[in-house]
């Protein structure tokens, strides 16, 4: 079973996907972390975010892996734990440029499909229901108002010790949303058959419970 969760930046996809995967006892794949890890690698090696061919070969040579530890899910590249480093504001500022390239996306999408080819998964990103897993059993499009998304993202950044002005955070989210929605290759769209959930006024556990209900209904219908 595949549960695909797409949506704009800061809508709460990661927390919801993690909570849902734990509740259902299935795997969790954060595809955004893969684009972020590549962006970090490129920054460290001075690879231009506009150079799609070099970025794609970097992605091919340095696959992103995920590790479960007592500190939770860790994101690793070349054996290094980059979980915190990929959340830095300078990575957020260029990740959507890195993610526009056709060649980069081809490498990422095939790695994602490989990872998802067996077992049951909750997978989150921008193009999961529309492109990575068009046959997903359940498709969710998770959104929230701009202000709420900025408020949540500011809180997350504060927890990592990064102080951000709310209007600055909102500017970053809107800029990324525009790049993600307007790019030619695999843009952020609401998949045709997705259930749209506006989480502006919904606490995390209610969003998780709502999606779990959709999954339960789908499983029951499949049994009939
Ligand atoms: O956590 P946040 O919503 O800020 O973003 P993320 O899920 O970590 O994704 C970071 C960026 O990676 C997005 O803004 C997209 O540019 C890109 N991305 C993508 O293009 N396709 C995906 N399936 C996932 C992420």
**Is the C-beta atom of 95 inside 6 A of ligand 1?**
yes
Rg value, the chain, Cα: 17
**Predicted pLDDT at 83:** 95
**Is the C-beta atom of 98 inside 6 A of ligand 1?**
no
Look up residue 27 and give its DSSP letter: E
Q: What is the pLDDT along the chain (224 residues), one digit of tens a residue?
A: 999 999 999 999 999 999 999 999 999 999 999 999 999 999 999 999 999 999 999 999 999 999 998 888 999 999 999 999 999 989 999 999 999 999 999 999 999 999 999 999 999 999 999 999 999 999 999 999 999 999 999 988 888 888 878 888 999 999 999 999 999 999 999 999 999 999 999 999 999 999 999 999 988 888 88
Q: How far is the CA of 66 from the centre of ligand 1 (A)?
A: 16
Closest ligand 1 atom number to CA of residue 153: 4
Q: How far apart are CA 35 and CA 31, in angstroms?
A: 7
What is the number of structural domains in the chain? Answer: 1
Token code pair at residue 103: 């060649």
**Is the C-beta atom of 99 inside 6 A of ligand 1?**
yes
**CATH number assigned to the domain comprising residue 96:** 3.40.50.300
Tens digits of residue pLDDT in 43-73: 999 999 999 999 999 999 999 999 998 888 9
**Domain region containing 13:** 2-223
Q: How far is the CA of 95 from the centre of ligand 1 (A)?
A: 7
Prediction pTM value: 0.96
Q: Scan for tokens 């996306």, then name that residue.
A: 105
Q: How far is the CA of 216 from the centre of ligand 1 (A)?
A: 28
Q: How far apart are CA 151 and CA 25, in angstroms?
A: 30
Handedness of CA 216, 218, 219, 224 (dihedral sign): positive
Q: Considering only CA atoms, which residue is closest to atom 3 of ligand 1?
A: 9
Residues in Cβ contact with 42 at an 8 Å cutoff, skipping those fewer than 6 apart: 48, 49, 54, 55, 58, 98
Asked whether 43 and 212 are in contact (CB, 8 A), the reply is no
């Amino acid at each position: 079973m595949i549960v695909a969760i797409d949506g704009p930046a800061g809508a709460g996809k990661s927390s919801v996907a993690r909570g849902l995967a734990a509740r259902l006892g299935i795997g969790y794949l954060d595809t955004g972390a893969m684009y972020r890890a590549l962006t970090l690698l490129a920054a460290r090696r001075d690879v231009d975010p506009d150079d799609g061919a070099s970025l794609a070969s970097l992605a091919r040579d340095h696959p992103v892996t995920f590790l479960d530890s007592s500190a939770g899910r860790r994101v690793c590249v070349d054996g290094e734990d980059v979980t915190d480093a990929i959340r830095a504001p300078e990575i957020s500022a260029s990740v959507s440029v890195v993610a526009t390239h056709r060649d980069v996306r081809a490498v990422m999408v095939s790695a994602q499909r490989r990872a998802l080819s067996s077992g049951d998964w909750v997978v989150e990103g921008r193009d999961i229901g529309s492109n990575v897993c068009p046959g997903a059993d359940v498709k969710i499009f998770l959104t929230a108002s701009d202000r709420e998304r900025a408020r949540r993202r500011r809180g997350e950044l504060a927890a990592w010790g990064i102080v951000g002005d709310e209007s600055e955070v909102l500017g970053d989210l809107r800029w990324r949303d525009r790049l993600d929605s307007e790019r030619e290759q695999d843009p952020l769209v609401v998949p045709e058959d997705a259930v749209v959930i506006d989480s502006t006024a919904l606490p995390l556990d209610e969003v998780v419970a709502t999606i779990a209900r959709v999954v339960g209904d789908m499983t029951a219908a499949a049994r009939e």
